[in-house]
Amino acid sequence: MMNDATLRKIDLNLLLAFSVLMQERNVSRAAERLLLGQPGLSAALRRLREALDDELFVRVGRGLQPTPRALSIAPAIEDALSGIERAIRPQAEFDPTSWQGEFRIGMCDNLESAFFGPLAARLLQLSPGARLIGIASDKRDSARRLDEGVFDFSVAMHDEPASWHIRAPLFDQVSICIYDEAQLGLKAPLSLKDFANVAHVTVSFEGHTSTGIDMALNRTGDVRQVVATVPRFSALPMVLKAMPAIATVPESIGRCMAQLHGLMLCEPPLSLPTDPVTMLYRRVDQTDGRARWFRRLFIDVANKALEASGCCVSIPRAAA
């Protein structure tokens, strides 16, 4: 068996020189293919002969004849070189039209309402053999579930990522007020007094009633009355249609709700903080053709959805 010291003497250049010599059986032609001078190729052959303790090639006339040892090792060396070539060859461009499988995306429900439908429709057009799977996700568990392979990427308000993740900024989500004009009896724009005095409905998965809106109101000396809290945005329109109350929601889902349910929108009468929406994906997927295509598709679809709904934000394509 060949020892470690012998193996260390054999590098890729020597194996490549051996392979070309087996094909050409001529030092001059082999050196030309390898972009080497004849002395350089002769030196490489000498090192390989010493490492393997065999002549490998003997001169016969103007050509070279491989020895039995060279003939016996040639197939394995060719296989090894072919494997290396396949491994380092540039990946073929991803073809969505012929691909069959799942694309999986994690989103919180407000973003899901705004983007999932248009994304599914566009994917069906571009990749008929694909299936889109939406996974409920938020910043609390998105990193862990990403590592577990639950989805290809997550769109949410993510915390600082781990070193093996990439968090790409998408857009800053602003807030907008939404209500049923027939129930509430108020016209836009709302005054701060009207906003503070009407009943409020909040959305909280955990059942929290206090949000950044209350802190902003405290700075003006005002207090609001929260009369109901729902765990999901999908329940909000029916609540607002049933009672004289107002809700303050992310603009992207607020505009969707207004179009679908005939609700009124208006700007909040006080300054509220924005929420940075980001895309979280694994660093190892950064250059993967399939994953990169899916991320770019989402950004294109989300940009069109934001524009169609009347939102004034857009997502840079470089985020993918």
* Backbone dihedral angles phi then psi of residue 30, each to the nearest 5 degrees: -65, -40
Q: Which residues contact 145 (CB under 8 A, 6 or more apart)?
A: 106, 135, 137, 151, 154
> How confident is residue 224, by pLDDT bands cut at 50, 70 and 90?
very high
User: Residue 201 pLDDT more than 90?
Assistant: yes
- pLDDT, average across residues 261-266: 94
Q: Which comes out higher in pLDDT, residue 115 or 34?
A: 115
Coil/strand/helix, residue 11: coil
What tens digit of pLDDT does each residue of 73-88 get? 999 988 888 888 777 7
Q: Which of 178, 198, 182 shows the shortest CA–CA distance to 242? A: 182
- pLDDT, average across residues 87-100: 84
User: Residue 5 pLDDT more than 60?
Assistant: no
- pLDDT, average across residues 113-127: 95
What pLDDT is stored for residue 108 in this prediction?
A: 86
C-alpha to C-alpha distance for 84 and 78, rounded to whole angstroms: 10
What pLDDT is stored for residue 181 in this prediction?
A: 93
What tens digit of pLDDT does each residue of 152-167 get? 999 999 999 888 999 9
Return the H-helix or E-strand segment holding 130.
Answer: strand 130-136
> How confident is residue 4, by pLDDT bands cut at 50, 70 and 90?
low
* Backbone dihedral angles phi then psi of residue 290, each to the nearest 5 degrees: -65, -50
- How far is C-alpha 315 from the geometric centre of its chain's CA atoms? 14
User: Residue 91 pLDDT more than 80?
Assistant: no
- pLDDT, average across residues 59-79: 89
State the sign of the Cα–Cα–Cα–Cα dihedral 305, 310, 314, 317: positive
- pLDDT, average across residues 53-59: 91
- pLDDT, average across residues 268-286: 92
What tens digit of pLDDT does each residue of 17-32 get? 888 888 888 888 888 8
Coil/strand/helix, residue 60: strand
Name residue, tokens 């001078």.
37
Q: Which amino acid is at 234?
A: S
C-alpha to C-alpha distance for 258 and 90, rounded to whole angstroms: 48
Q: What is the DSSP string of 155-177?
A: EE---SPPTTEEEEEEEEEPEEE
Whether this model's pTM surpasses 0.75: no
- How far is C-alpha 26 from the geometric centre of its chain's CA atoms? 51
Q: What is the dihedral of CA 282, 286, 288, 293, to 10 degrees?
A: 100
User: Residue 300 pLDDT more than 50?
Assistant: yes
- pLDDT, average across residues 264-288: 92
Cis amide leading into 237 (omega within 30)? no
> How confident is residue 195, by pLDDT bands cut at 50, 70 and 90?
very high
C-alpha to C-alpha distance for 319 and 100, rounded to whole angstroms: 25
What pLDDT is stored for residue 257 in this prediction?
A: 93
What pLDDT is stored for residue 9 in this prediction?
A: 57
For residues 75-109, one letter each, b for 16 or more C-beta atoms within 10 angstroms of the residue's C-beta and e for the rest, the string is: eebeeeeeeeeeeeeeeeeeebeeeeeebbbbbbb
What pLDDT is stored for residue 270 in this prediction?
A: 92
